[in-house]
Amino acid sequence: MGTSSAAAGELGDRLGALGGSGAGTLTGWPSPDDGDVFSRLRWRARLLTPPEARTSEHPEWLHRTLDVTIAAAALLVLLPLCLLVALLIKITSPGPVIYSQTRVGLDRRGLFRGASTSRRAEDLGGRVFTMYKFRTMRCDAEASGEAVWAQKDDPRVTRVGSVLRKFRLDEVPQLWNVLTGDMNIVGPRPERPSIFLALRSQIDDYQIRQRVRPGITGWAQINQAYDRSIDDVKRKVALDLEYIRHRSIWHDLAIMLRTVPVMIGRKGAH
């Protein structure tokens, strides 16, 4: 009985923390504060459901089938371009063609499973994985070994790298991450563990982004430019939570289609 009361209290605290976010006002999607109290509770209950039990308009296997199919087809179509990019990177700057980095992925434990968390030496917020990109910076870009946020007109970016970044072509190797199951085509962008831990301590409900697999593109990426401040990150988190709340095959396809003009117009963010 005591355990049930504690769980209910924790759920109540989390529901209260999510109240008044007003995220829906950012894009015109329904806000969690629209409608009667029962509608709001249903929305919050859905958002707080453990990942493997969370419902979507479509089953998870259908999302994965779509992602794997598109990723495999895209890799085949883009293979000649990838070979050209690899050659240009190799002949214009010393260092490897592919840059790998540890990122935080899907949290399969759910939000209320303290026992699982206790088995980890450190709670990184989700399963860590290796993400791949075409290298766009000098090899000594992070000589100190600490994570450094990219800046506008970053001097560490190579000439070829600046072109790849403008058209988001540096993200193409992440199609392999989609095939291996670490990422989806659409989802919140994954962060490095050190940055994730810092943002989780500064932004309420930041960890809820890990409820779904991270993506190559996302609702936040097609609606906002590069992060310039913590307020920009907060807005992106609100957009990510909107995506999770309305996730479906149709929304994923719409985001994929809107990513193309973002790439061509060099808008949005990574």
Residues paired with 99 in a beta bridge: 133
pLDDT at 35: 54
Question: What span, in angstroms and rounded, lies between the C-alpha atoms of 238 and 89?
Answer: 36
- The whole model's pTM is what? 0.74
Nearest Cα to Cα of residue 266 among 121, 169, 132:
169
Type of residue at 15: L
Does residue 15 lie in a domain region? no
Does residue 129 lie in a domain region? yes
Rg (C-alpha) for the chain, rounded Å, is 19
Does residue 39 lie in a domain region? no
Find tokens 């970053």 and name the residue.
154
What is the count of structural domains for the chain? 1
Does residue 11 lie in a domain region? no
Does residue 190 lie in a domain region? yes
Report residue 269 CA to chain centroid gap: 12
Q: What is the dihedral of CA 165, 170, 171, 175, to 10 degrees?
A: 160
Instruction: Count the neighbouring beta carbons within 10 Å of the beta carbon of residue 207.
Output: 17
Question: Where would I find the beta strands (DSSP E) of the chain?
Answer: 98-104, 128-134, 184-186, 215-217
Does residue 177 lie in a domain region? yes
Type of residue at 236: K
Domain span at residue 203 reads 59-265
List per-residue pLDDT tens for the chain, 270 residues long.
Answer: 544 444 444 444 544 444 444 444 444 444 445 555 555 555 555 555 544 445 467 788 999 999 999 999 999 999 999 999 999 999 999 999 999 999 999 998 754 444 444 455 567 889 999 999 999 998 876 666 666 666 666 778 899 999 998 888 999 999 999 999 999 999 999 999 999 999 999 998 999 999 999 999 999 989 987 777 788 899 999 999 999 999 999 999 999 999 988 777 655 444
Does residue 37 lie in a domain region? no
Does residue 183 lie in a domain region? yes
Question: What span, in angstroms and rounded, lies between the C-alpha atoms of 45 and 54?
Answer: 10
Which pairs with CB-CB distance under 8 Å and at least 24 residues apart come from 229-234?
230/202, 230/203, 233/199, 233/203, 234/203
